[in-house]
């Protein structure tokens, strides 16, 4: 089975973000599997708040094109995000909304989400770990054409579960995360389309 290319990103760019710590664990777990991992930060792809008038006037921002190209170059992706009022962060939703406006780059059809495999996760200081956000994120990604693996991880009490090396000390969460990563890599490898 060919090693799939997996992109990994967090819906929080906050200094000290619990989800960025989770992303670190995701990338370490993925690195143990047969895949190539690219970790990015949305801080490097700043975008204005989506505005239809802005799009009509100036077109889709370059950073949205860069992100779509990156997604297009990968077989799958792992997104972690905080839960804000039961849903995803404005940063992540805004990024997805801009990306969904790009269907062509340099005259070539591109697809950021369609035909991709994804896994999703969340970390929260609350006991539920951001589980409500995961339902919303899953629904959005599926609507955009991604196959989201059934395994997912919601790390509760996240303020207390990461050690000084940002490793998860909670066995149950660590096990869920490992299962997510394995499922993502297995599925992305199976469904990988050779260019």
Residues that bind ligand FMN (CB under 6 A): 12, 14, 17-19, 82-86, 124-126, 128, 130
Closer to ligand FMN at the Cβ: 82 or 121?
Answer: 82
**Nearest distance from residue 42's CB to ligand FMN, in Å?**
12
**Nearest distance from residue 189's CB to ligand FMN, in Å?**
29
**Nearest distance from residue 63's CB to ligand FMN, in Å?**
21
Closer to ligand FMN at the Cβ: 24 or 61?
Answer: 24
Helical (H) or strand (E) element with 62? helix 62-72
Q: Enumerate residues 6+ apart whose C-beta is below 8 A from 4.
A: 35, 36, 74, 75, 76, 117, 185, 188, 189, 192
Helix ranges, 100-147 (H): 131-143
CA angle in degrees (0–180, nearest 5) for 39-153-192: 55
**Nearest distance from residue 62's CB to ligand FMN, in Å?**
26
The three-state secondary structure class of 3 is: coil
CA angle in degrees (0–180, nearest 5) for 179-184-189: 130
Q: What's the rounded Cα separation, in Å, for the pair 69 and 195?
A: 15
Closer to ligand FMN at the Cβ: 14 or 190?
Answer: 14
**Nearest distance from residue 191's CB to ligand FMN, in Å?**
30
Closer to ligand FMN at the Cβ: 56 or 165?
Answer: 165
Closer to ligand FMN at the Cβ: 84 or 186?
Answer: 84
The closest residue (CB) to ligand FMN is 82
Q: What's the rounded Cα separation, in Å, for the pair 2 and 17?
A: 33
């Amino acid at each position: 089975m060919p090693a799939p290319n997996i992109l990994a990103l967090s819906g929080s760019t906050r200094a000290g973000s619990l989800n960025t710590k989770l992303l670190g664990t995701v990338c370490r777990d993925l690195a143990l599997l047969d895949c190539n991992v690219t970790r990015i930060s949305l801080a490097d792809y700043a975008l204005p708040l989506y505005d239809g008038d802005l799009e009509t006037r100036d077109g889709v921002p370059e950073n949205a094109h860069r992100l779509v190209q990156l997604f297009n170059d990968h077989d799958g992706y792992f997104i972690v995000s905080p839960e804000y009022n039961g849903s995803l962060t404005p940063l992540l939703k805004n990024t997805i909304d801009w990306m969904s406006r790009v269907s062509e780059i340099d005259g070539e059809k591109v697809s950021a989400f369609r035909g991709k495999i994804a896994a999703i996760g969340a970390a929260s200081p609350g006991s539920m770990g951001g589980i409500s956000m995961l339902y919303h994120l899953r629904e959005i990604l599926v609507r955009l054409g991604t196959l989201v693996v059934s395994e997912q991880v919601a790390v509760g009490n996240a303020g207390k579960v990461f050690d000084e090396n940002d490793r998860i000390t909670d066995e149950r969460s660590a096990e869920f995360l490992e299962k997510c990563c394995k499922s993502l890599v297995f599925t992305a490898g199976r469904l990988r389309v050779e260019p």
